[in-house]
Structure 1
Amino acid sequence: MLDIAFKDFKAKKGRTAMCIIGVMVCVLLIGTVNLVLYEMESGLKGDLGTVNGQLYFEKNGTSFPPYASIIPQTLGDEVLTRAEVDQAKSTEALFAPVQTGESAQYTMIVGVTPGKEQAFLENATVNGKSSLVGEGDNAVIVGSEAAKKYNATVGGTITVQGNQYKVVGIMKQVGSGWPLTIDNSLVMPLSHAQAVMDMSGLISTVIITPSGSIDGAETSLQDAYPSYTIYSQKDTQKTLDDNLSQIRIFMNMISTFIFLVSVIIIMIVMMMSVKEKTKEIGTMRAIGTSKMKIMALIIYESLILSLVGGIVGIILMSPTYSMLGLLMGAKEVNFLSFNIPGAIVLQVLVIVFVIGTFSGLIPAYLATRISPIDALRYE
């Protein structure tokens, strides 16, 4: 049966090409949409990890990163003295986004108390120094993505909004998806961040490492400061789920629409194929070919076309995603180096199999309904 299918492909090159292109476009679009969602989820889950085991004391109605929160530093000083707070491992912090050059991308300035950088950096690996102590007001520890944007090197200088900074350390990439806040950050002394952002006496949050139970500390602090938010990892998870739910629905709708269009296109083409082969199918039935073999022939054709289109789509997925990154402002794009996660490849292969099977079912059924006598009269 397979040899008959391949002969039919050669005889009908235009129809074959149309099917392959249809599946390729379907796979490329669905794969890219799912890849964007996968990378976004990976990035946001990475941000979730930066809140692990900590609490963020901030203004009500804000979340992570807390750049929209503005609270008096005197209040932060008060919070740090509470028994629930491990003062040695906690810090006041100022988060402020700054535009990167003429692009629409932003880098996050994170001002912290020198010597308490680990409250934000956590277990991030730093090339160079991981502390700002004794390095001067203009010293910065740069996130991996920010380092790329500013061409930063350890010991070198970078210019951000007219201010020069000495790079004392560069963090290795933390996130595996879209750039995280920590990967896009410039960590500097709190006093200097307040000066350059004209926010003297103000902070965004207090990054708290509890001295005891995190749940107990959260409850105690929330009771003491009901007008403020004690933001925990659980709250971050809820925020991420809320933010992603609408995006998931929208992207799933797009994927479903693309999938249905592809199934219909291949189904129409396969029905045309059945009609063109009416006499051939009638001859096969007349010499004793079973209905199951006729059905298998049509489904084989559909599956092969879908598989070829799917493979081409998977190959083109990496450069397409890289092109998308370029359009979104990425400066360094290698069109051949992006590794597609195995989960996405598996998902696409399942989609290809489903497209090939379902789009061939109705044409295959119609082929089994062809009467040998009527088919031999068919012109």
Structure 2
Amino acid sequence: MLDIAFKDFKAKKGRTAMCIIGIVVCVLLIGTVNLVLYEMESGLKGDLGTVNGKLYFEKNGTSYPPSGSIITESLGNEVLNRSEVDQAKSTKALFVPVQGNNNSQYTMIVGVTPGKEQAFIQNAKVTGKSSLVGESDNAVIIGSETAKNYNATVGSTITVQGNKYKVVGIMKKVGTGWPLTIDNSMIMSLSHAQSVTDMTGLVSTVIISPTGSIDSAETSLQDAYPNYTIYSQKDTKKTIDDNLSQIKIFMNMISTFIFLVSVIIIMIVMMMSVKERTKEIGTMRAIGTSKRKILALIIYESLILSLIGGVIGILLMSPTYSMLGVLMGATGVNFLSFNIPSAIVTQVLVIVFVIGTFSGLIPAYIATRISPIDALRYE
């Protein structure tokens, strides 16, 4: 049956090519939509994962990163002096996003108390120095994306917003999806961050390592400061849901629409194929070919078209996604270097298989209903 299917493809090259192109486009759209959603979700989860084991004392209405929060440094000192807070591992912090180099993605200035960088860095691996203690005021530890955007190496000097900084350490990439806040960060002393951002006496948050249970510390601090937010790891799920719920609905609607279009495209092509081959199918029935084999033939053809288009579409997903990044302002993109997550590849292959199967059912049923006598009379 497969050899008959391929013979029909060769005989109808134009129709076959147009169908495959249609499937490639549909697979690219479905794959890219799902990939964008996957990257957004994994990036957001990764970013919020940096809150693990910490509490962020913020102004009400903010979340992570707390760049929208502003509190006084004196209030930060008051919070640090509480019994629930491990002062040795906690720090006041200032988060200020600034425009990156050549209008590239933003860079997040993170000002912390020298010697307490680990409150933000946590377990991220650092090439060079992981502490600002004993370094000059303009010394910085930067994330992987910041290093890439500024073509920086340990010991080099970079200029951001007209200010020069000496790079003493570079963190290895933390995020697996879209760059995280930590990947785009530039960590410097709190006093220098306040100076270059004109926010003297102000901070964004207090990054807290509790002395005891994180839940009891959160409850105690929230009771003591009801007008402020104590942001913890358990708040991350709500943040993810709030940020992605509407986007997921929209993306899923787009994927469903594209799926239906793909089914209709192949179904129309296969119905045309059945009509054009009415006499051939009638002859096959007349010489004893069973309805089951006719059914399998049409579904095989549908699946082959879908799989060919699906494989080509998957191969083109990486350059297509990279092109999307370029259109969104990304620089230094390698169109062949982006690795498509296996979960997305598997998802697309399943969708392609379902498309091929469902789109061939109606044409296959029509083919099995062809009467050998009527088919032989068909002109």
TM-score under structure 2 length normalisation: 0.99
The answer to whether 1:228 aligns with 2:228 is yes
> Partner residue of 1:61?
61
How far is the alpha carbon of 1:29 from its aligned partner?
Answer: 1.0
The separation in 1 between residues aligned to 2:159 and 2:152, in whole angstroms, is: 10
Aligned mates of 2:224, 2:337 — CA distance in 1 = 52
Q: Distance in 2 between matches of 1:10 and 1:236?
A: 55
Q: Give 1:101 shift.
A: 3.4
Name 2:151's counterpart in structure 1.
Answer: 151
Match of 1:211 in 2: 211
Q: Give the residue type in structure 1 aligned to 2:162.
A: G
Structure-2 residue corresponding to 1:351: 351
2:242 alignment partner, SS class: helix
Report the residue type matching 2:168 in the other structure.
V
2:375 counterpart of 1:375: yes
- 2:287 is aligned to 287
Question: Structure 1 CA distance, aligned partners of 2:169 and 2:311?
Answer: 43
State the distance in 2 between where 1:100 and 1:84 align. 37
TM alignment of 1:200-349, pairs within 5 A: 200-349=200-349
Residue 183 of structure 1 corresponds to 183
Deviation at 1:104, TM superposition (A): 5.7
In the alignment, the residues of structure 1 paired with residue 325 and residue 278 of structure 2 have an alpha-carbon distance, to the nearest angstrom, of 48
Deviation larger for 95-104 or 114-123: 95-104
Q: If the length of structure 1 is used for normalisation, what is the TM-score?
A: 0.99
| Contact 2:53 2:233 (8 Å CA) reproduced | yes
Matched, 1:89 2:89: yes
Q: CA deviation at 1:102?
A: 4.2
How far apart are 1:322 and its partner, in Å?
Answer: 1.2
- Deviation digits for residues 288-313 of structure 1, max 9, x if unmatched? 11111111110000000101000100
| 8 Å Cα contact 2:101-2:149 kept in structure 1 | no
TM-superposed CA distance for 1:287, in Å, is 1.1
Shift of 1:106: 1.0
Q: How do residues 158-197 of structure 1 correspond to structure 2 at under 5 angstroms? A: 158-197=158-197
Counterpart of 1:237, as a letter, is K
CA shift for structure 1 position 321? 1.0
CA distance in 1, matches of 2:156, 2:280: 75
Distance 1:288 1:263 in 2: 31
Aligned ranges for residues 89-128 of structure 1 at < 5 Å?
89-103=89-103, 105-128=105-128
One-letter identity of the residue aligned with 2:277: K
Give the equivalent residue in structure 2 for 1:72: 72
Q: Distance in 2 between matches of 1:149 and 1:102?
A: 9
Distance 2:251 2:260 in 1: 14
Instruction: Tell me the alpha carbon deviations over residues 197-249 of structure 1, each in whole angstroms, 9 at most, x when there is no partner.
Output: 11111100000000000000000000000000000011122101210111111
Distance 2:364 2:103 in 1: 53
Unaligned runs of 5+ in 1: none
SS of equivalent residue, structure 1 residue 34: helix
In structure 2, runs of 5+ residues without a counterpart are none
**Preserved CA contact (<8 Å) 2:104 2:149:** no
Contact 2:76–2:205 (Cα < 8 Å) also in 1: yes
Counterpart-to-counterpart distance in 1, 2:26 and 2:242: 28
The residue identity in structure 1 corresponding to 2:283 is T
Note the alpha carbon deviations across 1:105-142, whole angstroms, 9 max, x for none: 21110000001000000011000000011111101000
Question: 1:143 is matched by which residue type in structure 2?
Answer: G
Structure-1 separation of matches of 2:208 and 2:219:
13
Q: Distance in 2 between matches of 1:110 and 1:163?
A: 15
CA distance in 2, matches of 1:240, 1:82: 30
Deviations 1:323-364 (A, max 9, x none): 111222222211112211111111111011001000000000
Q: Is the 8 A contact 2:282 2:375 kept in 1?
A: yes
Q: Which residue in the other structure is 1:360 paired with?
A: 360
Mapped to 1, the partners of 2:341 and 2:100 lie a distance apart of 29
> How far does residue 261 in structure 1 lie from its aligned partner after superposition?
0.3
> Could you list the runs of 4 or more consecutive aligned residues of structure 1 that deviate by over 3 angstroms after TM superposition?
none
* Paired letter, 2:347: Q
SS of 1:39's equivalent in the other structure is: helix
How far is the alpha carbon of 1:33 from its aligned partner?
1.1
How far, CA to CA, are the matches of 2:66 and 2:90 in structure 1? Answer: 16
What code does the residue aligned with 2:287 have? Answer: I
Deviation readout 1:44-92 (Å, 9 max, x if unpaired): 1111211000000000000000000001110000000000000000000
Distance 2:247 2:330 in 1: 22
Q: Which AA in structure 1 matches 2:292? A: M
Q: Percent identity?
A: 85
Deviation per residue, 1:7-40 (Å, 9 max, x gap): 1000000110111111111111111111111111
Q: Name the counterpart of 1:10.
A: 10
